[in-house]
Amino acid sequence: MHSYDEPVYLISVVASMLDIHPQTLRQYEREGLVEPSRTQGRMRLYSQRDIDRMKLILRLTRQMGVNLAGVDIVLQLKEQIDEMQAEIESLREKLSHTNRNGSVPVSKALVTKSSYDIIIFED
């Protein structure tokens, strides 16, 4: 079994799977919507991630009537949302780790401990 990101599918196979013309795939590449890997002989190879991305593109264009410029914007926004969600998850994990330990590590604290000398004057 191949990994999700491993480029293994030829353009003809992908075109058949998605029921589109290979020129459509080439156009998506020219528009920067998908970037297949290339072999030494410059043949395009697509991963399952690429195929899923093209399914989204086809859904946006066919079912929702979005043009390719709009698709590009939607995909950029989706990538930003995915990055932000990953960052939120990372921060949640750090917060959970901090809560389990009961304190914030000194290197991460906003206020560090410092010693103060208290001098009391008597009247």
Per-residue pLDDT at 113 exceeds 60? no
Alpha-carbon distance 48 to 99, whole Å?
A: 38
In the prediction, which pLDDT does 63 show?
95
The Cα–Cα gap between 45 and 91 comes to: 36
The pLDDT, as a whole number, for residue 96 is 81
Q: Coil, strand, or helix at residue 45?
A: strand
User: pTM of the predicted model, to two decimals?
Assistant: 0.71
Residues 101, 104, 109, CA angle at the centre, nearest 5°? 175
Residues in the chain: 123
33 neighbors 71 (Cβ within 8 angstroms): yes
- Cβ distance 72 to 32 under 8 Å? yes
Extents of the domains making up the chain: 9-99
What pLDDT was estimated at residue 98? 74
Q: What is the pLDDT, as a whole number, of residue 12?
A: 95
CA angle at 58 for the pair 49 and 66, rounded to the nearest 5°: 125
Read off the pLDDT of residues 3-59 as tens digits, 9 standing for 90 and up: 898 989 999 999 999 999 999 999 999 999 999 999 999 999 999 999 999 999 999
Task: Provide CB contacts within 8 A for 66, sequence distance 6+.
Answer: 60, 74
Question: What is the rounded average pLDDT of the residues 77-90?
Answer: 94
Instruction: Provide the mean pLDDT of the chain.
Output: 87
Per-residue pLDDT at 70 exceeds 60: yes
Fold that domain 9-99 belongs to in CATH: Multidrug-efflux Transporter Regulator; Chain: A; Domain 2 (1.10.1660)
